[in-house]
Amino acid sequence: MRINVLKLASKVFQVCLLLALLPISCSKETQKPPSDLIDKETFANLVIEFQLVQSVLNTYNDTLLVIQLRDSILMNYQISLEQFQNSELWYHNNIEEYQTILNKAMDILSEEQTRLLENKSPSVKDTLVLKESDRTRPVRREID
């Protein structure tokens, strides 16, 4: 009986060791970037543009329009679909690089939001907000 327990413990240890080493042996080798890899700044801009295209798809559910917008964006950046797909695959497999790109995209969007908020003209909603002193006064409206 004691021998069976030792054999079982030995087998359990071997399996645990194998499971512990498995992630190390299965980790991907670092791939070389493609020769036509899109730089991080441009790829960050493409991420933003394609996210806007995705919102068009969600809004209008028009796949043809989405394809036309995608092709137009790529043409504007002078990038082929194959180059974009190769770069996207490489960045997805190199998560630290991809995280840097996503952070850059967020920075670009934050800067754009700040710029738009600073340069905006008052909207109808903004003009309807009453000043503190006007809140106690009755609002008079003319009816046509």
Task: Summarize pLDDT for 88-110 with one digit per residue, the tens.
Answer: 999 999 999 999 999 999 999 88
Q: What is the pLDDT of residue 125?
A: 47
Residue 17 per-residue DSSP state: H
On whether residue 89 sits in a domain, the answer given is yes
* In the block, residue with structure tokens 């003009």: 127
Asked, for residue 135, whether it belongs to a domain, the answer is no
Q: Is residue 97 part of a domain?
A: yes
Evaluate whether residue 65 is within a structural domain.
Answer: yes
What range does the domain containing 58 cover? Answer: 36-117
Place of tokens 């809004």: 59
Among 35-44, 47-56, 77-86, 124-133, which stretch is predicted with the lowest mean pLDDT? 124-133
Q: Is 144 part of a structural domain of the chain?
A: no
In this structure, is residue 124 part of a structural domain? no
Nearest-5° Cα angle at 94, 90 to 100: 105
